[in-house]
Structure 1
Amino acid sequence: MMGDITLIGALLAGLVGSTHCLGMCGGIASALGMGVAPERRTPWRLFGYALAYNAGRVTSYAVAGAIAGGVGLWLASLISLGAWTSGLRVAMGLVMAAIGVQVAFNWRLLAPLERSGMRVWARIAPLARGLMPVRSPGKALLLGGLWGWLPCGLVYGMLVAAALAGGAADGAAVMVAFGLGTMPAMVLTGTAAAVTGRLLARGRVRLALGMTILAMGVWTASVPIYSGLNALYCAPA
């Protein structure tokens, strides 16, 4: 059921949403490798730590996406409605549209979803803090894997899309695309990240990308609606 347009929308949401990621995870990302002796703290070593941390973060997104997609498919199997697939596509389009509006206008439409995850994060946070300071890429990978569960409305919105994607593999693919979109700003620490963040924070850039995601969502939702109306009004009497 999932198409390329969904993956492109997820990638764009991650790219623009990375400014939000910098605010929530930027402090941890910039502190990676600070536990390493100063004489060994080379730019390439710090880049490797950042890459490992973000690989762990995207992996946690993929796991969450697979779970959401699997649960969504299981729920679909319990409801034997002929219009189920069309209904899922409409719902996915509406979620994408909401994400587009949030990105374009910085409206916190998904804040209630963010608050819902605080109880889970309260149990994970002590484990994440136990990995600090990070002294190896392996620890950075594990820290990213735990930090990926930090409550975030944009992530939860994408998880809703993943749940509607049609299965575990498709749900994981949606979240990987989203995670890859956040990678440039998160991996390029320091000045490069600041420049990337400022670029993506510009009103016109956010508006253009947000409206693109919104258009993709409207298109995704409108196709099954149009097909249903066409079948209804063009059916032989």
Structure 2
Amino acid sequence: MSQELVFNLLAALSIGFLGSSHCLVMCGGIASALQLSMPQLTFLQQLKLQLMLSLGRLTTYSFLGALTGAFGAAVLVKLGISLFWLKLLAGVLLLLMALYVARLWFALTLLEKLGALVWRQIQPIAKSLLPLDSSAKAVAYGLSWGFLPCGLVYSSLGWSLASGSALQGAVLMFAFGMGTLPAMLAVGRFAQSLSRFKNKQWVRVSAALLLALYALYTIAIAIAPRVF
């Protein structure tokens, strides 16, 4: 495993964690509602179903990452679109993510509106799986949940587009998904405390600055070979 890939995986994990305050807004209600839709099970049984949900969601993220990675590596290159433009696009999307987390500019909501068109087709399938009374249903619901329109996910997919391969794209999105796990598994009182903490201005600004720095680093990597 190359040093660059290791760095990118750590960055993807951090981006998932730092940006997961948005996940608590977008998906936290769903996670809590899903827990309530589970039969009267023990804590460990509910935790198992929550983990199965996350397994399904991360599987979809990885699949989408592989798809965009393969598209970037094969189709776009064959069309004559160089990796320079893909990396530049990834950097710009990460910068938009930073502005989104900082609540300075919500351009990523446009991507969410486009994704809503897909979600409308998948949502009825997801609803048919309720109540979540088995691991199979939980995994299937998680697979559907992975398509929920989210600007944070879409901007990360833009990063996978420039990863150079289907495998790296999948691994990057899996790492991103792992970063969101603490927020998504936190329900009830702990979720409320975590949400309040992540919504503090200094936390949001710090997260946005780190995301912006990585975005600028990505853009610099894209531009450097053309400048030096």
Task: Report the AA paired with residue 9 of structure 1.
Answer: A
The answer to whether the Cα contact below 8 Å between 1:57 and 1:145 also exists between their aligned partners in 2 is yes
Counterpart Cα distance in 2 of 1:111 and 1:33: 27
Q: Which residue of 2 aligns with 1:25?
A: 27
Cα shift readout 1:98-127 (whole Å, capped 9, x = no counterpart): 212222335312111111122211110100
The alpha-carbon distance between structure 1 residues 224 and 17, as it changes in their structure 2 partners (threshold 3 A), is: closer
Task: Report the AA paired with residue 32 of structure 1.
Answer: L
Q: Which residue of 2 aligns with 1:45?
A: 45
Q: Which residue of 2 aligns with 1:167?
A: 165
Counterpart Cα distance in 2 of 1:35 and 1:212: 37
The answer to whether the Cα contact below 8 Å between 1:105 and 1:207 also exists between their aligned partners in 2 is no
Q: Which residue of 1 aligns with 2:177?
A: 179
The answer to whether the Cα contact below 8 Å between 1:92 and 1:165 also exists between their aligned partners in 2 is no
1:89 to 70, 87, 90: 87
Cα shift readout 1:122-181 (whole Å, capped 9, x = no counterpart): 110100000011111221111111011011111111111111111111111121111111
Counterpart Cα distance in 2 of 1:151 and 1:43: 29
The alpha-carbon distance between structure 1 residues 96 and 6, as it changes in their structure 2 partners (threshold 3 A), is: farther
Q: Which residue of 2 aligns with 1:144?
A: 142
Counterpart Cα distance in 2 of 1:34 and 1:228: 55
- What is the count of residue pairs matched by the alignment? 226
1:222 and 2:220 matched: yes
Q: Cα offset for 1:80?
A: 4.7
The answer to whether the Cα contact below 8 Å between 2:61 and 2:173 also exists between their aligned partners in 1 is yes
Q: Which residue of 2 aligns with 1:73?
A: 73
1:112 to 105, 110, 131: 110
| Alignment gaps of 5+ in structure 2 | none
Q: Which residue of 2 aligns with 1:7?
A: 9
TM-score, normalised with respect to structure 1: 0.86
Q: Which residue of 2 aligns with 1:212?
A: 210
| Alignment gaps of 5+ in structure 1 | 231-237
Alignment RMSD? 2.1
Q: Cα offset for 1:188?
A: 2.2
Counterpart Cα distance in 2 of 1:162 and 1:224: 14
The alpha-carbon distance between structure 1 residues 207 and 161, as it changes in their structure 2 partners (threshold 3 A), is: same
Task: Report the AA paired with residue 178 of structure 2.
Answer: L
The answer to whether the Cα contact below 8 Å between 2:129 and 2:141 also exists between their aligned partners in 1 is yes
Range 84-93 or range 53-62, more displaced? 84-93
Larger radius of gyration: 1
Counterpart Cα distance in 2 of 1:125 and 1:29: 15
Percentage of pairs with the same residue: 35
The answer to whether the Cα contact below 8 Å between 1:100 and 1:210 also exists between their aligned partners in 2 is yes
- SS of 1:149's partner is coil
Please show how residues 153-164 of structure 1 align to structure 2 within 5 Å.
153-164=151-162
The answer to whether the Cα contact below 8 Å between 1:93 and 1:221 also exists between their aligned partners in 2 is yes
Q: Which residue of 2 aligns with 1:58?
A: 58
